[in-house]
Structure 1
C-alpha cells in the first residue's frame, strides 16, 4: 500500500478580511459577524457581494464566521470597501483579527451574553499579543452550548454565578459581571507571558504548565442538548450542508421568511431571527438528516492542500454511514478537528480510511477509490 503524500502545510492562522488567504479558486475572505448576527440588510448585502466578487457561495465556518471564496486579488480592495459600508468590517486590521468570539446563539438582546460580548468587543485593544487562532467563548446560559467548540478562555455559568475558565481546566474562577472582562484580560496576559511556539493554545499550555490556583475552583454548569434544525422562540433554525450557503438561495430565504436578522453558529446552522419557518430545499430542516453529521472540507481543486475532491463523495456516502462521517482532502482535517466514526483522508487521488479517529490518525486501509468506497460496508 502506498504511503501518504507529503505533509500538508499548516498555516497557523485563519484568513481574515484584511488578510485573506489564497486558495485554489482565489482569495478566501473571512467576515466575523459581531455577536454572530447580521441584520437582514447585511445578509442580503453579503449575498450580493458573494455573487459579484466571489463564487456565489458563502461558507459558514466552525468558528461561526462567514467566508467569501474565489475573490480575485484585483477585487480585494473594492470588496473591503463594500464590507465596510455594510458595517461588517473593523477599520483597524489589528482589532478585526482579535475578534475571535463565540457566543451562545440563543441569547436575548441585552442579556448577560450580549452585555459581556459587547464589552469584550469594545476592549479588544487592551488584549496582549496573542496567537492568531486564540479565541473566546461567552457561554453564559444555564446549560452550556459551546463546551465542544474551539476557544481558549471561556465565560460560563457555575453553581454560584458567573465563572471565567481557562480551556483545558475542569474548573474556573468566580467573577462578577462588572469584573469579568478585566479578569479575562488578566488571564490573557498570563497566557501571553508563558506560551511558546509549541503551546499556542490555552489547553496545550496548561498541559505543560500549571495554571495559578487563583484561576481555579468553581465548576461550570452542565452541558445542554445540541441545537438542531427546527423552530425556536427566536425563529427557525436551518442546517447548511458542509457549511455552504448558496448566496441566491439564502437571499431568497431571507426575503420570503421576513426575517429581521440571521444568526450563525459553529455547527453549520443558522437562525432566522423573527422569520417564518418556510420550506427551504437547499438547506436542512430535519435534525435527523445524515448531512448534519457529515463534514467535508472544500477539497480539490478549491484548496491547494487537498489531494481529492471531497463533497461529492461525502454527499453520496452520508446515507450509508450510521454515525458521523468526515471526508478530508488532506491530513489537516480542517472541517472537523475531533474524531468521527468514519474518516476518509485524501492521498494522491485516493482515500485512506480511519475509524473512530481524526484525519491525522493512522489509517486502517489506504488507497481506496471512490468506486471501492461505494461498495464497502461503512456501518
Structure 2
C-alpha cells in the first residue's frame, strides 16, 4: 500500500486494515455517524466487488467492511476517497475517534454537529495529537435521546440543560467521569486539545504509558491531569441513573420522529445495506444515523408510517421489536473470523438468547466473547462467556477483560446452559454471583 501497511491486532482503518480469517477488515469512521443513502448504495456495491459482502456496525458507531481482498484494497481506497469517507493518511485517520449523539442537530436546539466536525478537523490537523493511542476516544452528547451517558469515553462533553453548557468529563461514563467544569459548543475543540495534550505530556514520562484516560487517572491522579490542562476538578452536576438505550422502533424526540432498526450482532450484508439506503430515501430525509448500539436510525419519518417502515425492515431481516431476543446477546465473530477464537460464538449466543432474556428483561444480558479482548462489548454484562480452547469461562457482572476464572472452571456450552437455567429456576446456590 502507498500510505499505510497491514497491522494485525491493531484498531483497523481504511489505510491500515486488519487481517482476519475472512480477509482484511476495513473500518470507516463515518463523520458524526451520518451517512447519505447514495453513499450507502456505493458502499454496498464496494462490499460486493472488493469484500465478502459483509458489513458490521461497531460499538463505537463505526462501519466495517469485511473480507476485503488485499489485491482489491487500492480500488476500495479510491472509492472511499471519492465518497469523502477517509482522511489523507493513517495518522489522521487513527486519531479521529469522535462519537456524537445519533440524533444531534435534528431538532435545531443547538449546533452540536458543527462543533463535532470542528473537533474532527482539529484532531486530524494537529499532528502533535496523532500520538494519541488508537482507542483514545472523544464523546459529545447533546442531550437528545437516546443518550450516550452509559458509554465511557476518555474525554466527554455532556449537555446539561440547567447550565445551558456542556459538562467536561474525563475517563468514564457520564455518571462516573471526573468533572472539570463547563464549556460552550465553540470551546469543545480547544478544551479537547488541552486535555489530550495533558494526557500525552503526563503519560510520556511513564515506563508503561497508559492507553486510556482512566489508566492515567489511576496512575497519577485526576488533579495532576486537570492542572496540566489548566483546569480544576469540580463537584459534578446531579444526574439520575442512566440506562443503556435500545433505539429500536419509533423514536419521539422533541417533536421529531425517527425509526430505529437493529442488526443481530451488528452484522449485515450488502443487500441489507442497500435496503437501509432505500428506506432512508423512501421514508425519511435520505440519510441514516449510525449508533454505538449496533442499530441504525432513519430520521424525519412520519408517525403514521411507522407500521409500513417496520414491515419494510422486517422483510429485509432487520430487527424492529425492542423485545426481540436477539437484542439480549452480544458476540464477536469468534473462530469463524478471528485467529484467536476457538468457538462459534454467535451460534452459541443465539442458542442461549432465550435464557439471556430471562436473566434481564432489557438490554444485553449475555456477552459471548471469542477471547479476553472482548471486542464485541466493552461494558460489563450480567453474564460474560470467554472462549478458551473450545470451552468457556463464565464471568458474572464484569467485562471480558476482567476475567479471573482458572482453567479448571472452563465449561462446555451444555454446562453453561444448565447452570443458567438452574439460576433462572432458583435452584442451586448460585455461587458464581449471577443475578436472576
96-105 vs 138-147, greater mean Cα deviation: 138-147
1:117-171 superposed Cα distances (whole Å, 9 cap, x missing partner): 0211221222522111111001121678223324211112234222322224432
Distance 1:13 1:141 in 2: 32
Partner-residue secondary structure (3-state), 1:28: strand
Quote the RMSD (CA, aligned, Å): 2.4
Partner-residue secondary structure (3-state), 1:320: helix
241-250 vs 176-185, greater mean Cα deviation: 176-185
Give the one of 82, 94, 101 matched to 1:104: 101
- The answer as to 2:269 corresponding to 1:228 is no
Give the one of 259, 262, 269 matched to 1:246: 269
Distance 2:121 2:10 in 1: 23
Distance 1:95 1:206 in 2: 26
Q: Which residue is equivalent to 1:148?
A: 150
Q: Which residue is equivalent to 1:313?
A: 348
- The answer as to 2:360 corresponding to 1:349 is no
Shift of 1:187: 1.1
**Unpaired runs of at least 5, structure 1:** 1-9
Structure 1 or 2: more helix by fraction: 2
- The answer as to 2:377 corresponding to 1:336 is yes
319-328 vs 351-360, greater mean Cα deviation: 351-360
Say whether the 8 Å CA contact 2:146–2:247 is kept in structure 1.
no
Give the one of 286, 290, 308 matched to 1:264: 290
Q: Which residue is equivalent to 1:26?
A: 23
38-47 vs 368-377, greater mean Cα deviation: 368-377
Say whether the 8 Å CA contact 1:237–1:270 is kept in structure 2.
yes
Distance 1:204 1:117 in 2: 25
Distance 1:182 1:164 in 2: 12
Give the one of 160, 169, 194 matched to 1:186: 194
246-255 vs 32-41, greater mean Cα deviation: 246-255
1:188-231 superposed Cα distances (whole Å, 9 cap, x missing partner): 11111012434221111112213336232252563655242011
Q: Which residue is equivalent to 1:200?
A: 211
Distance 1:119 1:35 in 2: 11
**Unpaired runs of at least 5, structure 2:** 1-6, 425-436
245-254 vs 215-224, greater mean Cα deviation: 215-224
Structure with larger RCO (C-alpha < 8 A, sep 6+): 1
Partner-residue secondary structure (3-state), 2:179: coil
> 1:142 and 1:67, CA in 2 relative to 1: closer, same or farther beyond 3 A?
closer
Within 5 Å, give how 1:53-92 maps onto structure 2. 53-92=50-89
> 1:215 and 1:55, CA in 2 relative to 1: closer, same or farther beyond 3 A?
farther
Distance 1:177 1:205 in 2: 26
> 1:234 and 1:221, CA in 2 relative to 1: closer, same or farther beyond 3 A?
farther
Distance 1:370 1:177 in 2: 49
> 1:216 and 1:47, CA in 2 relative to 1: closer, same or farther beyond 3 A?
same
Say whether the 8 Å CA contact 1:17–1:80 is kept in structure 2.
yes
- The answer as to 2:184 corresponding to 1:176 is yes
78-87 vs 147-156, greater mean Cα deviation: 147-156
TM-score, L = length of structure 2? 0.79
Shift of 1:245: 1.9
> 1:246 and 1:332, CA in 2 relative to 1: closer, same or farther beyond 3 A?
same
